[in-house]
Every structure is written in structure tokens, then in C-alpha cells.
Amino acid sequence: MKTVVLKFGGTSVGNIDRIKNVARIIASYKKKKFGVIVVSSAISGSTNKLIKKTKELSNNFDPAEYDVLLSSGEQASCALIAGRLKHLGFKTRSWMSWQLPIITEGPYNSSRINKINKNKISNYIRSGGIPIITGFQGINLENRVTTLGRGGTDSSAIMLAKFFNAYSCHVYTDVNGVYTTDPRNHHKAKKIDKISYDEMLEMASLGAKVMQPTSVQDAKINNISFSVKSSFTKNEGTLITGNKKAFSDKIITGITSTKNDAKVTMIGVKDKPGVAASIFKPLSLNQINVDMVVQNISLNSKETDLTFTIKSEDLKKTEKTIKQNKKISFRKITYDNNVSKVSIIGVGMITTPGITYRMFQALASKNINIMVISTSEIKISVLISNKHIKKAIAVLHKEFKLD
């Protein structure tokens, strides 16, 4: 019997009618004689409510208890799905991740799945049952509940597909698939039929919310193709795969943007070996992720200016960390949290010259100033004023023939 893994996001199980709809989708696969493994997120909004409670109780809530609390949302949605399927006459039950168990490693709040015990689920599927498994969680070697980070149910689905050697894996959400850009920012955005792991990983890391980056990385490492589709329509969705024969000849596949960046500029930094490390090591130790970095060339070999970007919620912590750092000296520091990163992504740019020029020229044609630039083999990112996001996406979408 071929096995399929079906993952349902929070919006797909957002209310009673939607849970009934999810049950119909699950039933359709079962009627086609598939073995079905279901993974569910918590009902949309419930995890945020739990997080809010922890903040009201403590500004340093215990990480282990935090994971126990947050894991409860998935338990509720799985029980509701199983209850509806039983009402429809199917053999089914909910499974907590610790009951399999799903073994994780790494810190609380951001663990990774290391092993899944298949025996109980395999036997249950062979008996005709439909297991409904909590996503986003597992247990560590100390038998404590752990969670996989926000969006972690995607990782649960990918790893279940790996360990059970699934025939297919489908991630159901509230959108029809992966789009060339966020349709809310550009009305001419188009659904992408097929996209590579690398492109999807870049898009997820650079602002596309449709998939958790860690789950795409897990899929790439384990060569698990999967589709992203809507639970509200019957459209085919988007296939994420490593099969190079599946892709089109487009140079640029998609455009992403962020809304929560901040720019920090340190002026008059003493220019000497190791100064950059002295700046960024304390930031790293304080769990502040530095993204884009540009350093001006020092003409007098004495001072230089250093600019980098961080998440805007880390701005106060960054300012405090820098001012407490006695190993560096500088004349002035400035901050700007009215900035956004816009990126173009596509494996086609590896073999196509002139992409950088075309991107910069297109932005210049709309009088959009570029503050910082970063590149990789398959993406170019620029930092611009956030008031220009929609204008930048529109002109780039047209320039690279994605309209």
C-alpha cells in the first residue's frame, strides 16, 4: 500500500467548517486506497494566544515549560480531526508525538527531528487506521516535550515522509501554492507550478511565509519532493523538487520582500584586523542574527564605516550590546528601521550575465535608492526604504517577465 503524508496548517483547521473540510480531503485519499498519515498544526491564532500568556507571566519563561504549553495547540486540532473522521465512519485516532515517539535533538523552541519510531503507526495503517499526528513537536532524550520552531509542522511532515518512505507529501495551507511574489504586494503575481529546493529555500529564508526554511532544508537533504496546495480549492498547487527536468527556462523564479528589517551604521570605526569579529561576536552571543553587511574601504587606513542589518525587534538589544562593548571604538552610530529587503531569486542567474545590472537599472528607473547589497549564486538582495516595496516588486516583476 502506498502511503501519503498530508499536512494541514493552522488556517486549514481554523474553525469547525474547515475541520469538516479537512476530514473530506483525508477521506478522499483513503477512498483511493492510500495509506494516510495526517499531520496537523494548531488552530490558527491559538499558539499566539499561548505565547502571550507566557509573556504576561514572565519575561524569562522557562523554555521547557514553554514547549509543553505550545505543544497543546496541536493536540486539540488532532483530536478534533480524529473526532470528525470517526463520525464519518473511519477508523482513526490522534497520536501525540511522544507516543510514537518522535525523537528530537537540539535546544527547546528550535529542536530538529532525529528519529521516528515507525512500528506503532505502521501497524495502525496496516489495520486500516488513519493516524492523526501532532506536528511541530517531539521529545528529547530526557523525555521532555520539545518544539521545532514556528512553522515546524512542515518539518514534521517532511520527516514523516522520509521515515515512512511516503509515495507523496502534500502541505495544505490557505494559498494555492507558491507565487512569484506575495499577491498582496502585486496583483500580477502568478502561481509557480514547480520550483527547486534551492529556490524555495531562498524564498522561504527571504520573506516568503508559505514554508518554514528548516523544512525545505530537510526536504533537500533527504530528497523528499512535496507539494504546497490550498485546502480550499482543488488546484494542483506547487511542486518543490530536486528534479531538474521539472523546471522552466525562466531566469528569475520569484521575488520576495521583508517588513521587519533594521539598518545599523557605525561611523568612524577604528580600522584594524579583527574589528568586525569584535563587533559581531557579542551580537551572536546575544542571539542577534546579522544579515546584510557592507564595510566602506578605509582611505586613511585608520577609520571605516560599517553597516549591517538585523531584525527590527532586535534593535534595542543590538544598541545595548554595542554600547557595552569595550573592545571597539567608533565616533557615531545610526539606526533606521524603515527599511526592507527585496530579493530576486532564480537558478537561471548562475549562467545568465547582466542580471545585476537589469535589477539595479529597473529600480533606478523608479527612483528607488539602494542602501545595501548582498548576493549568492541564485539571489540578489537589496535594502531599500520600505515605502518603496510595492513599487520595487512591480518593476522587478515586469523586468524579469513574471507578470
CA–CA distance, 229 with 226 (Å, rounded to integer):
10
365 with 351: CB under 8 angstroms?
A: no
Over residues 344-364, mean pLDDT: 93
Residue in 251, 250, 245, 308 with CA at minimum distance from that of residue 275: 308
Q: Please indicate whether residue 349 or residue 360 has the higher confidence score (pLDDT).
A: 360
Binning pLDDT at 50, 70 and 90, where does residue 27 land? very high
pTM of the model: 0.86
Q: Please indicate whether residue 214 or residue 134 has the higher confidence score (pLDDT).
A: 134
Query: What pLDDT sits at residue 327?
Result: 86
Q: Which three cell numbers stand for residue 134?
A: 501532532
Helices and strands, counts by H and E, the chain: 12, 19
Q: For domain 3-174, give the CATH number.
A: 3.40.1160.10
Percent residues over pLDDT 90 in the chain: 80
CA–CA distance, 346 with 359 (Å, rounded to integer):
13
Binning pLDDT at 50, 70 and 90, where does residue 318 land? very high
Query: What pLDDT sits at residue 192?
Result: 93
Residue in 231, 167, 211, 172 with CA at minimum distance from that of residue 39: 172
Q: How does DSSP classify residue 210?
A: T
- Sequence ranges of the domains in the chain: 3-174
pLDDT, tens digit, for every residue of 99-111? Answer: 999 999 999 999 9
3-state secondary structure of 361: helix
3-state secondary structure 290-324: CCCEEECCCCCCCEEEEEEEEEHHHHHHHHHHHHC
